Structure 1
Amino acid sequence: MAKVGDRVLFRTITVLTVMLPLFGFIVCVAWSLIFDFKSSTATHCGVHNYLPSVSAAIGDYLPQRYIWRFVIALHTIPRIQIAFVYYAYFMSILAKWHENSVLLNCILNLVEILSLFGLTFISSTDNYTIHKFFFITFLLTSTFYMALSICLLGHRITAPNALEVKSGRYKKRLFVTTLLAVFGAVYFFARHNNYCEPMMYTWFALCEYLVILCNMAFHMTAYWDFPHREWSLRPSPDVRQQFRV
């Protein structure tokens, strides 16, 4: 039996972990708009632009770069732990033959987390090629993680409660919104590069913001997935025993 001090309410971990990058993101964008507006919104085209790209807001200026790196570093370990908690959760609600899919889902989540860490600490100005690699990896793994999570939830063998149904509904909406935002970002970026039209880069930046906010919100749905569950800090040989209602 684990002691009371060996357990923590999962909801608390989820909220704190998501609020860290959300706070950092808002501060970095706001700071760039207030103090570095002209340089952070400038593009090679020289056309009017009213929002900084995510890369510019979090990596090109100080103190934004340090703020973003601090919150991402602080939230990475809990995110990794949460990934394993979700592995245990899926194992507990799915048939045994889904084990490989659950493992793949966990790997996608871990790669997403590590890619975010990589693109944060290697900015586009430090090494554009590596930063681009981490960014593309983050985008692909986070999107496939969303899709596979929704697919796995559709094959659960236990009946979901009302909050889990609500969580699943929002997961689907956030996934669709993410896809639309990704396609929008590609479209507006191409228009900006090919035609140098005013406002195209601003719309691209908005799509980037939407992708990031949807990603955070998707992970926040754990608030509904684990309303009363506690997470054991002690490792268990059976991942199904990590949870206690």
Structure 2
Amino acid sequence: MEKSSRFGSEYIPLVSETSTRLRLLIPFSKIAWFTVSLPFLGFAFCVCWSVLYNFKEATFTHCEVYNFLPSISAAIGHYKPQSDVWKAAIAIQAHTRVLVLIMYYRHYKETVYKWAQFVAHIALAAYAIENTALVTLSFWSSHDNYALHKLSFITFLIMSLLHMSLSCMITRSCRSPAKDAVEASSFKWKWRMLFANVSSILLACYFFYRHNKYCEANVYSLFAMSEYMVVLTNMGFHMTAAWDFAGRKFLVSLKGLRII
């Protein structure tokens, strides 16, 4: 089988080489879409269900003023079945993101300049920690363990920003220029998602401060909307993996797993 020009294939044996009859070829783009779609659909379900069936409780704050949207914490962690749906989505995507991490490790190893390999290692470590923090903040809500939830959220936010920033820097300055329009498009969307993510974080901080300072109606909902944008832009950034590895596939057979 012909190897990709971007980086070679790798074979991971699972059993003895006895049969090639049963094979499954999975485009990596589908894995990337699946990895992002799970938390997106889970997130959308949690928000919609909370608005429809837990509106009063989910939008309540200490200011006791009207709000039209719940915060992410209230939507995904305080009520059932929302918390169960969110935990299931995060648990599944955490496993598929390991495949994404492996792909980026191999990609950076083959394409990043030697002098910048340590930058790639930091980006990969940030990616792994971000995923771990997402799991812990999802499985331990602020009601279950406030200290752990808070630490996990802060860690997720910092590692997410670090990973996105370093990924953009690597793509721009630490490797050879994009070889095709797909790679160029991925690079552009990475920068757009990073800019939108940082802007959303700043807006969330502003609305959170304003809500606690003045207790105005609907301001907490504006904070919630900013939170949503932080999450959605993070998902959008991770979706660029579908472009980074366009044309790559996973071949699963009785021989093992091969990336082609």
When normalised by structure 1's length, the TM-score is: 0.92
Give the structure 1 partner of residue 182 of structure 2. 163
Cα distance between partner residues in 2 of 1:190 and 1:233: 51
**Deviation of residue 49 (structure 1)?**
0.6
Which of these residues, 25, 31, 43, is aligned with residue 13 of structure 1? 31
User: Which aligned runs of 4 or more in structure 1 are off by greater than 3 angstroms?
Assistant: 1-8, 231-234
Superposed CA deviations along residues 48-99 of structure 1, whole A, max 9, x for unmatched, are 1110000000000010000000110111111122112112112222112221
CA contact (8 A) 1:9 1:231 kept: yes
Structure 1: stretches of 5+ with no match in the other structure:
235-241
**Deviation of residue 159 (structure 1)?**
3.9
Cα distance between partner residues in 1 of 2:114 and 2:250: 22
Give the structure 2 partner of residue 186 of structure 1. 205
Higher relative contact order (CA 8 A, sep 6+): 2
CA contact (8 A) 1:105 1:149 kept: yes
Which of these residues, 139, 147, 160, is aligned with residue 165 of structure 2? 147
When normalised by structure 2's length, the TM-score is: 0.86
Partner amino acid for 2:99? Answer: Q
Partner amino acid for 1:33? Answer: V
Partner amino acid for 1:115? Answer: A
Give the structure 2 partner of residue 102 of structure 1. 120
Which of these residues, 93, 108, 111, is aligned with residue 90 of structure 1? 108
Range with greater deviation from structure 2 (170-179 or 94-103): 94-103
Cα distance between partner residues in 1 of 2:251 and 2:244: 16
Identity of aligned residues (%): 40
Give the structure 1 partner of residue 62 of structure 2. 44
Structure-to-structure mapping, 1:121-140, within 5 angstroms: 121-140=139-158
Structure with greater helix percent: 1
Structure 2: stretches of 5+ with no match in the other structure:
1-9, 12-19
SS state at 1:8 partner: strand
**Deviation of residue 5 (structure 1)?**
3.5
RMSD value over aligned CA atoms?
A: 1.8
Cα distance between partner residues in 1 of 2:81 and 2:120: 39
Q: How many residues align?
A: 237
Cα distance between partner residues in 1 of 2:195 and 2:88: 30
CA contact (8 A) 2:23 2:251 kept: no
1:232–1:109 Cα change, 3 Å: farther
Structure-to-structure mapping, 1:64-79, within 5 angstroms: 64-79=82-97
